[in-house]
Structure 1
Amino acid sequence: MQKDDILRNIGNHLSSIYLLKDQYEIMKEILIMLSKITDCDYLSIFLLKNNPRKDLYEFFPLENRFQVRKSDINLHSEIITEVLTKKTHLLLKEKDKIKLKEGAGNASEILIIPGSLLQDVQGLIFVEKGLFSQEEISILSSLSSIIAFIILNSRHYKNLSDLVTQLRISYEISSSLIQEMNPDRLIERIFKEIRTHFGYDIIGVFILKDDGTLSLEYTVEENSIFKGFKLGLGEGIIGYVARTGESYYAPDVRKDKYYIEGVKGILSEFAIPLKIKDKVIGVLDINSRKEDDFPDSTRKLLSSLAALITISFENARLFEETKRLSKIDMLTGVLNRRTIEIEIERWIKRAKEEKKGLTIFFLDLDHFKEFNDRFGHQKGDEALKIFSDNLKKTIKEGVCGRYGGDEFICLFYDTEKEEILRIGNELIKRIEKNKKLKGITLSIGISSFPEDGKTMDELIRVADKRCYDAKRFGGNRLRE
């Protein structure tokens, strides 16, 4: 199951948690929910606030057993201090577990996740199992802010009975946000929920740009004519909120010194900063055609919603970044093997449909093993980075990926043979003249669709063999 599908399913499951009022049941449901994501041996949550007894909520998936006990956790230990300071997850191996003095004690790894809501850590989540995959760590970490939000709400349920109605509305909106990873669709759903629950239909999200201006990036369809409208920092109510980082309410805009007229007929306006780590990234602006139409309780709920919107923006950004990084070889910055193979298949299909040509470079560094043996693997990694930088500078119209070790593949679509040879020879000369590579040169094997093959395997095999032939004749050359 893909990460976004998992998050959608979890979003649906959250309904039962939000409607609970008992903290014991809320913690139990959170742990059960997390156990469904990963085949783990043990989970627990330790609340950092309003927890005088130092209760630890534990769940043992194999026994389907939930319990609460007093914890011996030391919040001032080196490990916990690191998690609370950096506000990011920490993976402990077997040798480090003894320092923690918590957990089931049998698993090989412990993942500690801070349940953090806008850098305010509400609790610590401990997950134990044999070995964690990067996908599991990514999903569990992505849920930390949602869990923190639930923990925070559990305290509200416990202390303020009149907050139940407000949180019901908050849940319906936040569950929509949790289930949607696409930023454009996300904002569309936010506007729909605000209109449905509050009746406000003049809504916009301004994003703070690198040049210091605020641009209206999202608005309701009937006001799309204003999309792209810009304000300076400190200009109007929206600019004032972005500059100060504080919410601002104008019960009667006709009397407000900061108000700048946009949509006709506006009588009251409420603007809320969207902040990450105290840095303003934008402003949620809501307007009404009624005077003083934002009661205190509504403003409080909209402010809470703005915080959740910010988290959702960040989660959507991180999700897109995660998808992007999943396609990239982290050392060299070019595509990884899986992605370059997908690209080859896609380009072959396109070439067949359009009856065009396709060229593959199979590239292999000469003398790389000797370089590694002489200078060490760290210098070898640096050499691969230098090579990939030259690859990206030389090949601007093609697509390149790391096939494995010091082998790379590049694709060219419907490119003239003379241009292919020019690019190949230019790259070979670049590598030969690079003094930092200290004797490393480059061999290239070339294959073409459909002349040398009609499948990915055939084209790679031919290009690989020609690259091998180039190396047999001394390297630092290409063979076609």
Structure 2
Amino acid sequence: MRGLDNMVTNSKYEIQMNKLLEDEKNIFYFCNLVREKVINDVQECKQIIDLVINFCEEHELDESKAWMYYYLAWYYSDKSLYNKALDLFNDAKDIFEKHDNKMGLAYAYNGLSSTYCQGGHYELSNELGLRGITIAKELKEENILITMLINTSITNIYSGSYEAAKEILDYVEVNYDYKKLGIANEVIYKKAKAEVELNIGDISKALEYIEKAIELDKTNGENICTPEVYKLLGMIHVKQGEKQKAEDEFKYSCKVANVCQSVYDYCETLIEFSKLKFNLGEDSQAIKYLDEVIKNSTELKLNRLLKSASILLYEYYKEKSKHEQALSSLELYMKADNEIHNYNNMKLIAKLNIDHGEKEMKLYKLLHDKTELLSSIGEKIISNLDIDNMVISINDEINKLMKSEFFGITVYDAEKNEVVLRTVSDGKLEIREPVNMENNTSFAVYCIKNKKTIVLDNIVKEYKKYVKIISLKDRGIKYPMSGIYIPLIINDEVIGVMAVQSLKEKAYDSNDVNALKVIGNYAAIALKNAMEYKKMEQIAIYDSLTGFLTKREIIREGNNVRTEFSKTRKSFCILMLDLDDFKNINDKYGHVVGDNVMKMVTQTISRLIRSSDYIGRYGGDEFLLVCPNITKKNALKMAERIRKAIGSTEYAIDEYTAVKTTVSIGLYEFTKDDLSFMEGVNFADLTLYRVKNKSKNKIMCFNHV
């Protein structure tokens, strides 16, 4: 029955509540009752919890109240109100600690671990989970131990540590009977197994696990677990290429999430749904979904989801060269990431009393006092997508906090196994020659290899701890005497080093080191994004296989040529090239060989076109060549050279085998001012189509008649 008022509920549970006055262990009647009700009757569950809390407060039943706080926290967690949930889990933990209630403490750590995981605080989540697991093992409380092990596996899934998650889940399956915890927990276990298989295992096994989870979940009707399992089923269908099925599952997941009032699950599904929509070319719908996620996530401070949604928008806008929107999305991502990693975490840790002495707490207070300034600095740093400008900006901001005669950022290139140092002195940027990672005279190289911060009070006396030899001449006069080197780390990957140096001995203290580490977090994110941005720019402009322009870029260049034509009236030609029956090479020898042959073919083409021409990969084995300031007669000569060269070349695929291919070409001479560039492309494409249908390995010019 739904919608019971407190008076009716009070009468219904009066006998059981009075038993609490005799022995607080009778609270487990209500704990079990709440666990049953929460599946299908959340409203009554909440009313029971409120009723028991009021009774406990009236009669000063602290431990019983703590248990109800614990379940009330889960109620708020399921509603995506994580701050309320954290406060209640913490209150429960404090009460359990006060009364040395170890079992209650294990449960409280379970709740805290799960909630911090949802917020993206994975390290803290794992630390709390480990504390709870240790207590559960000590008490031999198998139920909470199994629950916490499964939740720890989920934290590893969220953080992308799928191998670790798999090990934990396999351990649970071998050593414990997880099914005895009830259907809801069995559903969670199967879902976790499915997600691991989806990401690093067998897609068919993933489907098998999720179908079992759905079968179990149906016995409880639509409940808080339902949106997650159907979202995952949709993700599996996406990977299988069954896009319509995926869309149906995502829609159902969203529907149930709304019924259950779970904003978090609703937004998680919308993120996956948006990826599918982008894949289907329905960009506007994908953006609409992500905007909704950002709106909800901002209101409820769901920073993990805010990061996921904003980075998807950033990548989309970046690919479309909508730089203003891309930057706005990137800044939103940075803000969410900073909120996860900033020193608010320290306040949370302090509240949890996790191994901090008085000295450390003073440091946290000092850092907290600097948070506003550091946050301001961080916002300026992350707004830079150009590495050189970013280095100058960081130097300017660091000088607001500490004295630095020398500042530098070393960028690590893992592929080349070398580092490049950018230094700023007297406001001027200098880019040094690359240094190989085998160099034993570089503090930065040591820092990268060991992932350790270096603090040098006196370089002359201390350098031998880190490098074999350095120049000691003019130390303290022209060259630094002390310094700090901070490794810039993203997801356990070192991408560079940030260093400040001074002519003075002992110029920096521990406060400077810690402030610099905070800035280093911003710098690492900014550097990573600047590197990714540069890489994405290259990808957006050049096709990775052929080295030709991408379709988007060749069209952009073609439009520029068309604009120039309007001014000069000098004709230009558009050639559409298609390799004949190239699919046969792929089918016979495989796509790896096919890709290598295509690379060689494009090298042939590159040798025969002019430096002023533009060529792009228009589709699989189709290329678009735009030739400015050329007549049809001369363009035909060039096309014929290309056709003959490709047709007469044997492309070696190994020591004993070579393949041949031919090319068909459709040519359109642009002479009319009333046509757009794309209309010219369509004429060239239509001409190519006629060639392919006739005989192939030919050239044909478009005829307006």
Q: Scaled by the length of structure 1, what TM-score is found?
A: 0.66
| CA distance, structure 1, for counterparts of residue 86 and residue 529 of structure 2 | 23
- Give the counterpart letter for 2:383 in structure 1: Q
| Cα deviations by residue, 1:120-161 (Å, 9 ceiling, x for unpaired) | xxxx99811272235866844688887565334343122145
Amino acid at match of 1:80: I
SS in 2 for 1:427: helix
Match status 1:362 vs 2:576: yes
CA pair 394-453 structure 1, distance change in 2 beyond 3 A? farther
Identity %: 18
Q: Deviations over 1:65-123 (max 9, x none)?
A: xxxxx999554479939931479x99889957566985634657469xxxxxxxxxxxx
The equivalent residue for 1:131 is: 273
Q: Distance in 1 between matches of 2:495 and 2:622?
A: 41
Cα 1:206/1:71, change in 2 over 3 Å? closer
Residue 408 (structure 1) aligned with residue 619 (structure 2)? no
Amino acid at match of 2:671: P
Preserved contact between residue 247 and residue 272 of structure 1 (Cα < 8 Å): yes
In 2, Cα distance between equivalents of 1:450 and 1:86: 61
2:666 aligns to what?
445
The residue identity in structure 2 corresponding to 1:401 is G
2-structure distance, mates of 1:78, 1:430: 58
User: How far did 1:429 drift?
Assistant: 3.5
> Could you tell me whether the CA contact under 8 Å between 1:205 and 1:282 is conserved in 2?
yes
Please report how far the alpha carbon of residue 204 of structure 1 lies from its aligned counterpart in structure 2 after TM superposition.
Answer: 1.7
Secondary structure in structure 2 of the residue aligned to 1:104: helix
Q: Does 1:104 align with 2:227?
A: yes
Q: How many Å separate the matches in 2 of 1:245 and 1:191?
A: 22
- Other-structure match for 2:424: 219
User: Does the 8 A contact of 1:234 with 1:242 survive in 2?
Assistant: no
Which amino acid letter does the alignment assign opposite residue 697 of structure 2? N
If each structure's helix is expressed as a fraction of its own residues, which one has the higher value?
2
SS at match of 1:476: coil
Deviations 1:139-196 (A, max 9, x none): 4468888756533434312214513124334322222233332323322221121112
1:241 is displaced (CA, Å) by 4.0
Residues 74 and 80 in structure 1, CA contact (< 8 A), matched pair in contact too: no
Q: Deviations over 1:284-305 (max 9, x none)?
A: 2212244322111211221343
The match for 1:312 is 526
Q: 1:256 to 1:387 in 2, by over 3 A?
A: closer
Task: State the partner residue of 2:683.
Answer: 462
Name the CA distance, whole Å, in 1 between partners of 2:618 and 2:544.
Answer: 13
Q: Match of 2:385? A: 181
Alignment of 1:27-426 (within 5 A): 44-45=118-119, 47-51=121-125, 52=128, 74-76=151-153, 80=157, 83-85=160-162, 102=225, 104-105=227-228, 107=231, 109=234, 127-129=268-270, 131-133=273-275, 134=278, 139-140=310-311, 150-153=339-342, 154-158=344-348, 159=350, 160=361, 161-162=364-365, 163-208=367-412, 214-220=419-425, 222-224=427-429, 227-228=431-432, 233-235=439-441, 237-238=443-444, 241=447, 245-253=451-459, 255=461, 257=463, 258=470, 260=472, 264=478, 266-275=480-489, 281-327=495-541, 334-353=548-567, 356-367=570-581, 371=584, 375=587, 379=590, 383=594, 386-387=597-598, 389-395=600-606, 397=611, 398-404=613-619, 406-414=621-629, 420-421=635-636, 423-426=638-641
- Which deviates the most, 100-109 or 232-241? 100-109
* Structure 2 letter corresponding to 1:104: P
| Stretches of structure 2 lacking an aligned partner (at least 5 in a row) | 1-80, 88-116, 131-146, 165-194, 218-224, 237-264, 279-285, 291-307, 315-329, 351-360, 464-469
Q: Equivalents in 2 of 1:79, 1:455: separation in Å?
A: 53
Question: Given residue 663 of structure 2, which amino acid in structure 1 is its aligned partner?
Answer: L
Q: After superposition, what is the alpha-carbon deviation per residue over 1:7-35, rounded to whole angstroms, capped at 9, x for unaligned?
A: xxxxxxxxxxxxxxx9827999xxxxxxx
Q: Which amino acid aligns with 2:454?
A: Y
- The aligned amino acid for 2:561 is W
Asked if 1 retains the 8 angstrom alpha-carbon contact of 2:392 and 2:427, the reply is no
What TM-score does the superposition give when structure 2 sets the normalisation length?
0.48
Q: Flag the 1:293–1:389 CA change in 2: closer, same or farther, 3 A.
A: same
CA distance in 1, matches of 2:421, 2:558: 40
Map of 2:298 onto structure 1: none
Shift of the 473–282 alpha-carbon distance from structure 1 to 2, 3 Å rule, reads same
Amino acid at match of 2:680: L
Deviation per CA, 1:358-395: give whole Å up to 9, x if none. Answer: 321112343467x49x948x957964773365124422
C-alpha distance 294-415 of structure 1, shift in aligned 2 (>3 A): farther
Q: Secondary structure at the match of 1:294?
A: coil
Greater displacement, 157-166 / 252-261: 252-261
User: What secondary structure sits across from 2:618 in the alignment?
Assistant: strand
> What is the distance in 2 between the residues matched to 1:139 and 1:212?
32
Change (3 A) 1:126 1:46: farther
Indicate conservation of the 8 Å contact 2:582/2:661, yes or no: yes
Shift of 1:240: 5.0
More strand by share: 1
SS of corresponding position for 1:127: helix
Q: What amino acid sits opposite 2:664 in the alignment?
A: S
